[in-house]
Amino acid sequence: MKTLHLYLTRQVAASLLLTVAVFTFVLLLGNLLKEILMLLVGGQVGVATVFRAVALLVPFVLVYALPMGMLTATLLVFGRFSADQELTAARASGLSLLSLITPILLLSLALCGLCAWVNLELGPRSRVAYKDLLTRMRVQMAGSILQEGRFVKDIPNCIIYVGKNDGRNLKDVKVYWLENGTNITLWMRAPRGAYEFNPTNGHLALQLFDSTSVALMGGQWHPGGTGEWTYETNVTLAANSPESIGISDMTFGQLRRELRNLEHQINFAPPSPRVSPEQLREQLRLVRQQKEDLALPVLVQMHWRVSFAFACFGFTLVGIPLGIRLHRRETNVGVAIALGLVLVYYSFILMGQSLAARPEWMPQIIVWLPNILFQIVGAVLLWRANKGI
């Protein structure tokens, strides 16, 4: 029995190392082709710089390669284990499936801990160092002042958040105006916008379309109308400041500090005591909405980081019984199914991140759904496989 346990664990561990290496290489190649190799071919960087960039990218891509590798390894190993009738022989010897896979489940939990460390700390730090390397290798592109997915604080008395930025056009834009750099007095939101930025003199022209606003007047918050809005200013860039790091590249500790800073930033004036109960409820609703709207992207990022650390366990629960049911030895079949399952898993993550500006959809809960789904389905399939159903 111990020999069979050791055999299966070794097979899964060997397949895990191989598949993680393959997925890491593929993900690295995609990033390098997009950002580094073009500079290498053009003679703008040396080979040593490329190797340094690869070293910095490895922890970042491991965030995705480890769960994918664990899923593929379990599918391949248990597909062969079932196709070679070894599972039937083990059951004939009185061994249950659950007893055979206990070491593998423990291995997946250990990988969850490793993924948590990489996802919450090592990966973001490596990604920031990689981006700093890119910044030093080439001139900063015009328009990078409004990077998507982060709170821009380079503009005096103003905070801007952009959901998408294609180089000129913006989507899901939020603008918060500050009084004395602390209290928010005007909140604007627009589904689309445009901007022009001159990196030579730091001149920024921002234009919002179909914008809505809420303004603080006389100690009360009043919703405004919709329309077009234009603002021009001069910006002093601080490329290496902490504020220049997008929330997707922050460590978990930095995300927590960012969330606290945003909560302290929202220091709204209390409504007048002479307002009616209906007006007071409306004021409180507006304040609560603005707090949720400002902090939601950070909350979604924090929930995603933690939830994704459990992906290895959910993939293992699904991969073992599914590999047994497939009853196939072919590697290409296992890899294809693994990629399909990964696509399903990541679709929830992408959905949650795309809805980071829509608090009514509760995107911080959506990023947990794939874990819940995979673990429930995997537990049911594993129970049926253990019963031989």
Query: Do residues 120 and 170 both lie within one domain?
Result: no
Q: Which helix (H) or strand (E) holds 319?
A: helix 311-326
Query: Do residues 132 and 204 both lie within one domain?
Result: no
Query: Do residues 35 and 116 both lie within one domain?
Result: yes
Query: Do residues 314 and 347 both lie within one domain?
Result: yes
Query: Do residues 116 and 188 both lie within one domain?
Result: no
Given a cut of 50, is residue 199 above it in pLDDT? yes
Query: Do residues 105 and 233 both lie within one domain?
Result: no
Cα–Cα dist 371/348, whole Å: 10
234 and 155 Cβ atoms separated by less than 8 Å: no
Query: Do residues 312 and 233 both lie within one domain?
Result: no
The domain tally of the chain equals 2
- Which tens digit of pLDDT belongs to each residue from 123-157? 888 888 887 777 666 434 434 567 777 777 767 77
Cα–Cα dist 148/293, whole Å: 16
- Look at residue 311 in the predicted model and tell me its pLDDT: 92
- Look at residue 317 in the predicted model and tell me its pLDDT: 92
266 in a structural domain: no
Given a cut of 60, is residue 240 above it in pLDDT? no
Which stretch, 158-162, 226-230, 264-268, 370-374, has highest mean pLDDT? 370-374
Query: Do residues 31 and 130 both lie within one domain?
Result: yes
74: pLDDT confidence band, cut at 50, 70 and 90?
very high
Q: Which of 26-30, 261-265, 335-339, 360-364 has the lowest mean pLDDT?
A: 261-265
382 in a structural domain: yes
Percent of the chain surpassing pLDDT 90: 16
In order of 13, 184, 193, 285, 290, the CA distances from 224 in angstroms are: 60, 15, 18, 15, 14
Q: Is 156 left (phi over 0), alpha (psi -120 to 50) or beta?
A: beta
Cα–Cα dist 347/377, whole Å: 17
Cα–Cα dist 193/172, whole Å: 8
Cα–Cα dist 138/39, whole Å: 9
263 and 233 Cβ atoms separated by less than 8 Å: no
Q: Which domain holds residue 154?
A: 142-238
Is the pLDDT higher at 249 or at 15?
15
Query: Residue 359 carries which side chain, given as an amino acid letter?
Result: P
190, 207, 238 — which closes off a domain?
A: 238
255 in a structural domain: no
211, 238, 265 — which closes off a domain?
A: 238
Query: Do residues 151 and 212 both lie within one domain?
Result: yes
153 in a structural domain: yes
Residues 68, 70, 71, 73, Cα dihedral to 10°:
120
- Look at residue 204 in the predicted model and tell me its pLDDT: 78
195 and 170 Cβ atoms separated by less than 8 Å: yes
CA angle 286, 182, 211 (to 5 degrees): 45
Question: What mean pLDDT comes out for the span 8-32?
Answer: 87
251 in a structural domain: no
272: pLDDT confidence band, cut at 50, 70 and 90?
low
Is the pLDDT higher at 37 or at 60?
60
248 in a structural domain: no
347 in a structural domain: yes
Query: Do residues 190 and 229 both lie within one domain?
Result: yes
277 in a structural domain: no
239: pLDDT confidence band, cut at 50, 70 and 90?
very low
In order of 71, 73, 75, 132, the CA distances from 64 in angstroms are: 11, 14, 17, 22
Query: Do residues 97 and 161 both lie within one domain?
Result: no
238, 258, 274 — which closes off a domain?
A: 238
Query: Do residues 26 and 126 both lie within one domain?
Result: yes
